[in-house]
Structures are given as C-alpha cells and as structure tokens.
Structure 1
Amino acid sequence: MSNHASNARLTAIGTYVPKRVMTNFDLEKIVDTSDEWIWTRTGIRERRIADAEEFTTDLCVKAAKDLMDRSGKSLEDVDLILVATTTPDYAFPSVASQVQSRLGIKHAGAWDLNAVCAGFVYAMQAANGLITSGMHKKVLVIGAETLSKAIDYTDRTTCILFGDGAGAMLLEYDENNPSFLLSDASSKGEGGIHLYRTGLSNQMDGKKLHDTGHIVQNGREVYKWAVSSVPQGMKRLMEAGGFTLKELDWFVPHSANLRMIEAICEKSGFPLEKTLYSLEYYGNTSAATIPLALDKGLREDKLKAGDTVLLYGFGGGLVQASSLIRWTI
C-alpha cells in the first residue's frame, strides 16, 4: 500500500482500435455460440481485430499520434516510454523501443511491462514513481494488445472475449497539481494456473499445461477470485487514504466481463452507473481496457477535470493493481 506524495500529472490521452469489427454474429459462423449467449454472459457485442500485418507496435504508434493530435502536445522530449502488453511483436526487441524509433523520440528509455490485464495500472504506478523520484520528467505510458493473434478460434470459451486496442497517456512532472493519491498492488501467484499462455516452459507448479501457445482460461476460477478480491482491495485502498467509496466519482475496473463488473459493484456497494468500462464494443483488450474506458468516459462527457477516479486492473498472475487518481486532463 502506498499513500504517497506525487509529482506526476496526467496531461493527455489518446487511443486507437483496429478498423475491423468482429460481431457476435460473426462468431456464430466460426464456433458453436450465439449473440444472445455471448451478450447475456459477458456484456460484449463486438470486438476489434487487427489485420494480419498489424501488430501491437502499430496500435501503440497510432494511439500516441491520436494523443498528440488531440492535445497538441509534442512527444519529442519524452524521456521514458513504458508499454504494458502481453502480446509484443517479438520476444525482443521491446514494443517500447520500436515505438521510440517510429515516433522519432531521440533520448528516451524504453521498456515493456507484462502484468497482463493489470499492466496499464502497474505501468502508471511505475511512471508516477519514476517522475516523483526525479528520475524522469515526461513519461509516455501505453497499454496495448493484439490478443486476436493469441486466441484459439475453435475454443468458444476464450475467442468470444478478446479484442485488440491501445490507449496512451502522458505523465509529466508537476509538483503543484499531481494526479496520484494512492496506489496498491498484490499478487496471488498460485492462481496463475487458471489463466496462462505457455512460453519456454509448459509446466507450472509441477502441473502440465495446455501447450498450445494460445490463451487458456478457467473462467469460473478467475471470476471467483476477482469478485472476491477486488471489492476487498477497493475497501482496503480507500480506507488507507481516509476515503470512502461514496467520495469516488468514477470506478474504472479492467473490462473483462460485464457480469463480473456488476458482481464487483454489487459486492462493494458501488453504483454501476458510476463505473466506466470499454468491453461492450471492444471486448476484453487486457492492458488496453482501462485507457479505452477512460477515453470513452471523456468522449461521452462523463469524466471531468477534478474528478476522483479509481483505476483497478486485475488478471493473469494472478495480479491486481489499483490507483486512486485526480483526473487532470
């Protein structure tokens, strides 16, 4: 738990989603499912799918350009690029280093962070800490995924959920009007077997994994963990800073499944109508869901400067990360 002073301010946001739309009706033609079945169980109607030659770096660059176009800000003097992703173009070099090259940012550190669906909040926390410490002054944080490239489209339990997208945010040094109020993070590594994608190893805790290279999920177990742990985490974070959930203007959880979000809101006592999510038309975009939800709230004229917002990422690991922020864009 970190109840901290902060010198980092959110100053701009940008997003990008691929042009191709995959509806629930499209999925009916691929696997044994239906629009009604998907909608009633997930709250998802559509998701965006990257082209065959469109990768995570491409989405990041377009989200960053959208940020520049909308804010009028230059990224030339960014001194660090953090990309949260679990679907990098390559094992290495990092997506962040490719973004640095493509955007022509000459003197920036660059690294990728993988905390799956909690990745964006972890990256924001890291950026805040590095700026507050004085190590960096201007950090570009991007959450981006091309999950469609890691999906088995014969597995109806996973292929209906995931989509592609990217969201970028700019954080700058500002000791007078910082955005970050509180942060928390935790992990339950023994739950990793319930949500994974194999890599160099095909075993976990001595147990053989489904070594397909695709995302494998035990939805029931992940649901139980999230619905139990997220409301507890919300309460713990707010109480640590002397806040109550009633003082919160907006809750922005990872957009995994609308039924999960509804259950989290019901259990925590927080109203669903004050919750921002991006899954209905974008699906679960992992590290990109929270910036996409923030941008949607901004475009719909819900999110206002000065609002108190709780960002809450959770997912594979099993990991979770939360940050209470003051909206300053």
Structure 2
Amino acid sequence: MAYCSRLVGFGGYLPEKIVTNQELSQSVDTSDEWIRERTGIKQRHIISGNESCNSMAAAAAQQAMDYAGLSSDDIDAIVVATCTPDQAFPTTAARVQQTLGIKKGFAFDISSACAGFVFGLSVADNFIRNGQAKNVLLIGSEVYSRILDWSDRRTCVLFGDGAGAVVLSAEEVTNTTSQNGILGVYLHTDGQYSDLLYVDGVPSKTGDACFLKMHGKEVFRHAVTKLSEVVEEALTIHHLTHDDIDWLVPHQANLRIISGMGKKLNLPADRVIATVDRHANTSAASVPLALNEAVRDGRIKKGDLIVIEALGGGLSWGSSIIRL
C-alpha cells in the first residue's frame, strides 16, 4: 500500500513583545527608512518573560493539532527544525512531546538554519511514505534574539523570534489522489559556502552565546540564483509550469528576494505570501508561519498548488511542491 503526505493542520506562535524599527534606531545606528528600504521589515517579535523555543514550538504545535482535529494520542512523530534550542539536549522535540502529553512515537530535532523547515518536510514526508508514521508534527521554532549582536545593524535588524507548525497525515494513494499532498521535496547543500553565514558555539537560555555572522551581499546573490534553480527543478520534474502555481510561500528573509522570486515565476504580488514586514526573518519558522497565516485568512484553500522554498546556512536550500 502506498501513501502520500497531506498537510492537514496549521499553527503559529509569535512572542507578545514587538520591537519596531524606530525602537531599534534608539540603540543602534540605523533608521526605519534604512531598514525598510533594504529589507521590507517594519517590526519583529522578540521573546520575553517565560517564552522559549520550547514554549513557542508547543503552542504552534497545539494549534496545528487542533486545526487537524487530532489529539496527543494521534501523533506518531515530532520533528523540530531549530538551530536555537533552549538546551543542547534533550531535544526541543522531546520537550514538546513532554509539554503536549504525547506518549508514543519518537521525537528529534534537525538543524539546517533557515532551510530547516523544508529539510524537515522531506524527513516527515519520508516517514509517512515508508509507513513509519501516520501523523507527524513538523515544527520550526527559532529564538534568533539569543544569537544576535544587537550593536551590529547589518544583522540585528533582520531577524525575529517565532514558531510555526504543520501536521502531516498519511493518505492512501489511488488514481484520484496521486497528485495530492506533498508531490516532492528537493534539497541541496554546498559546504564551500559555509563561512558566508554561521554561528560559533551553541545558543543558551542564559544569554551566553556567540553571535551570528553573515556576508549579506554574497548570501543575497546566492539566494536569488539557487532558489530560482531549485524551484525550476521541482516544476520540471513534475511537468508543471509557472501558470500551474497558485501560491508561492517563500522563506521570509528579505522582501527584495521574495519579490524577485515572484517575478521569476511570473506571479503577481497577490499570489506571493509575504510576512517579512511584520515577522522579520524567523529562520526555520518563517515558512510555516506564513503558511499558517495564509491558510487561516482564507487565501490558500484546499486543492491549491503551493510552492515553498528556503535557503540558509550551509549553504543549504530546497523547494517543495504541495497540493493542499
């Protein structure tokens, strides 16, 4: 018996604290105009109080389970994409399992920076296709505020904290369902570019962390080229054209990159989901947060063909085509 993976649940969590560009300009040499012109970002959410990578992930996951109409007894596996965990171990996924009272199955983290959700999608999809799990929680949760040098305007203005989640469920493949769910996920890594975007050390709840380092112009250049190539790769494999795409749900790194990808795919702006202006770059959480918002506000509907893509440190990048 063959199975495909359907996205049946969506959730998200953003910290209560909002930091605007104007507020940042009071502590670092920048301005609202400078940030918006270069990135499209107006504000970002930053954790405070008792919020953490685990608490955000669990909140987003609970929303996704509720949307799917599933309980903790229904979940077979949890995959969390994060490079800013609360602890080196146990994994954030294990903590989420504990928080949500999920007693069966298995849970683990993956780390692929901003591409983490797309890489996690491939992992979760394969568990379902291989019959190892029926319902998988896939979560992206990041606390980049822990690894930012808040005196460096080149990096601190770009990122925010948040979590997004989806539930993938198995559906038996028949002649009428063969083009449903996740049609394919396409992944790449080129380690020769590892020094373009990196963090030395491990983030920490105590605040003792090394800082994110990025060669922004080089990352931007590679992002536009590699994301375009991996989307075209996916479309070609599935004999699809730009006209077949209903929605592009891109990684929310920079509005110029997002707009550039939309133009390359001949998609009008109203068919490209953009949340970067309000969320900033939430790394592995950005795609599921954007997906959650667009599904819940009714833009993305069942049956729509969606393309997602992301690029992160590694450099690692990937795309997926999904029939919701």
Whether TM-score is above 0.5 comes out as: yes
- SS at structure 2 position matched to 1:8: strand
- Offset at residue 270 of structure 1 (A): 3.3
- SS at structure 2 position matched to 1:152: coil
- SS at structure 2 position matched to 1:173: strand
Distance 1:246 1:7 in 2: 24
Distance 1:185 1:47 in 2: 28
Distance 2:163 2:33 in 1: 27
Distance 1:193 1:133 in 2: 36
CA 1:39–1:255: 2 relative to 1, 3 Å? same
- Alignment partner of 2:164 out of 163, 167, 187: 167
- Alignment partner of 1:142 out of 134, 139, 142: 139
Distance 2:148 2:251 in 1: 19
Distance 2:187 2:52 in 1: 29
Matched, 1:40 2:29: no
- Alignment partner of 1:179 out of 174, 178, 181: 181
Q: Are 1:277 and 1:290, in contact at CA under 8 Å, matched by a contact in 2?
A: no
| Per-residue deviation, residues 180-226 of structure 1 (Å, max 9, x unmatched) | 112211111111101000128xxxxxxxxxxx711111110000001
- SS at structure 1 position matched to 2:309: strand
Q: Are 2:8 and 2:67, in contact at CA under 8 Å, matched by a contact in 1?
A: no
Count how many residue pairs are aligned between Structure 1 and Structure 2. Answer: 312
- Offset at residue 75 of structure 1 (A): 2.5
Distance 1:15 1:32 in 2: 32
Matched, 1:317 2:317: no
TM superposition outliers: structure 1 runs of 4+ over 4 Å = none
- Alignment partner of 2:192 out of 190, 193, 208: 190
- Offset at residue 47 of structure 1 (A): 0.5
- Offset at residue 71 of structure 1 (A): 4.1
- Alignment partner of 2:99 out of 86, 102, 126: 102
- Offset at residue 291 of structure 1 (A): 0.8
| Per-residue deviation, residues 230-252 of structure 1 (Å, max 9, x unmatched) | 11221121011100011000011
- Offset at residue 9 of structure 1 (A): 1.4
- SS at structure 1 position matched to 2:240: coil
1:263 — aligned with what? 260
- SS at structure 1 position matched to 2:151: coil
Q: Are 2:3 and 2:170, in contact at CA under 8 Å, matched by a contact in 1?
A: no
- Offset at residue 298 of structure 1 (A): 1.8
Matched, 1:151 2:148: yes
CA 1:63–1:124: 2 relative to 1, 3 Å? same
Q: Are 2:307 and 2:321, in contact at CA under 8 Å, matched by a contact in 1?
A: yes
- Offset at residue 52 of structure 1 (A): 5.0
Distance 1:183 1:69 in 2: 26
Q: Are 2:248 and 2:262, in contact at CA under 8 Å, matched by a contact in 1?
A: no
Q: Are 1:249 and 1:274, in contact at CA under 8 Å, matched by a contact in 2?
A: yes
- SS at structure 2 position matched to 1:255: coil
TM-score by length of 2: 0.92
Unaligned runs of 5+ in 2: 203-208
- Offset at residue 288 of structure 1 (A): 0.5
Matched, 1:303 2:296: no
Distance 2:191 2:89 in 1: 25
Matched, 1:24 2:21: yes
Per mean C-alpha deviation after superposition, the further-off stretch among 230-239 and 245-254 is 230-239
Distance 2:47 2:82 in 1: 15
Letter in 1 for 2:98: S
Matched, 1:123 2:125: no
Distance 1:79 1:301 in 2: 29
